[in-house]
């Protein structure tokens, strides 16, 4: 069985990347890695599904025990990708998506250069602010912190393999799906070419 492919999806908070990922995993053989975080669980989120919620000491233990593929601090909270689940999914030929911010994304790219990095841009900052306000998950102070973080995040987008604008959800999902499918096709071709030689 061929090994699966790894995709990293980043973008400022409120850009809609979470919704894009939700749509992507409705497709066959596309799976989302569940991250660990020290941030508080929000209404509507489920432990083990949205995130694995943990405290700082347990998180640091996981880092020390080599259980994290990557981790980063975002707005004062730790976020990280548990390594084993990702490795297992790749071993079973699955397409795996990491929905993570750019510090962690760049660490993964160094470790696994074959990872395909996709950055989702909002159409404008006013639209980003609207979306953050409308979804009502964060208070206005937290929203401003997230907008401030967006400046550095957007500046990292040229380092990604693909940059997609989320001004239309269906198109954005379609473009991302095309990237996944064409990556799979190329991977299969490479494997079959190498077998022929
Ligand atoms: P939120 O608090 O909105 O769920 O996530 C905040 C930011 O952390 C988002 O940009 C999200 O993509 C990022 N994030 C979520 N999980 C991880 C992770 O495992 N590693 C890294 N580096 N960032 C993550």
- Angle among Cα 45, 19, 39 to the nearest 5 degrees reads 35
Six token digits for residue 144? 């401003």
pLDDT of 109 reads 98
Locate all alpha helices (DSSP H) within the chain, ordered by sequence. 17-24, 56-64, 83-91, 102-111, 125-135, 140-155, 169-196
Q: Per-residue pLDDT tens for 17-41?
A: 999 999 999 999 999 999 999 999 9
Q: Is the CB of 13 under 6 A from ligand 1?
A: yes
Spacing, Cα 130 to ligand 1 middle (Å): 20
Q: How far is CA 8 from the centre of its chain?
A: 5
Spacing, Cα 79 to ligand 1 middle (Å): 6
Q: Whose CA is nearest to atom 21 of ligand 1?
A: 100
Q: Is the CB of 81 under 6 A from ligand 1?
A: yes
| Average confidence (pLDDT) over 114-121 | 98
| Average confidence (pLDDT) over 128-145 | 93
| % of the chain at pLDDT higher than 90 | 96
Q: Per-residue pLDDT tens for 38-91?
A: 999 998 999 999 999 999 999 999 999 999 999 999 999 999 999 999 999 999
pLDDT of 93 reads 96
Through-space distance between the first and last CA atoms of the chain, rounded to whole angstroms: 19
């Amino acid at each position: 069985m061929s090994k699966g492919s790894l995709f990293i999806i980043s973008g400022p908070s409120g850009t809609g990347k979470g919704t894009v990922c939700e749509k992507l995993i409705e497709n066959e053989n596309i799976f989302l890695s569940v991250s660990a975080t020290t941030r508080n669980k929000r209404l509507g989120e489920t432990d083990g599904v949205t995130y694995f919620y943990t405290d700082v000491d347990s998180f640091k233990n996981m880092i020390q025990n080599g259980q994290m593929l990557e981790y980063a601090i975002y707005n004062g909270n730790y976020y990280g990708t548990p390594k084993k689940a990702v490795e297992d999914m790749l071993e079973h030929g699955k397409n795996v998506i990491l929905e993570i911010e750019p510090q962690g994304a760049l660490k993964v790219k160094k470790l696994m250069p074959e990872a395909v990095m996709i950055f989702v841009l909002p159409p404008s900052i006013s639209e980003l602010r609207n979306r953050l306000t409308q979804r009502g998950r964060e208070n206005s102070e937290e929203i401003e912190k997230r907008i401030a973080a967006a400046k550095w995040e957007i500046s990292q987008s040229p380092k990604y393999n693909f940059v997609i604008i989320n001004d239309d959800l269906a198109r954005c999902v379609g473009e991302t799906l095309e990237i996944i499918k064409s990556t799979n096709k190329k991977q299969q071709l490479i494997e079959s070419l190498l077998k022929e030689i």
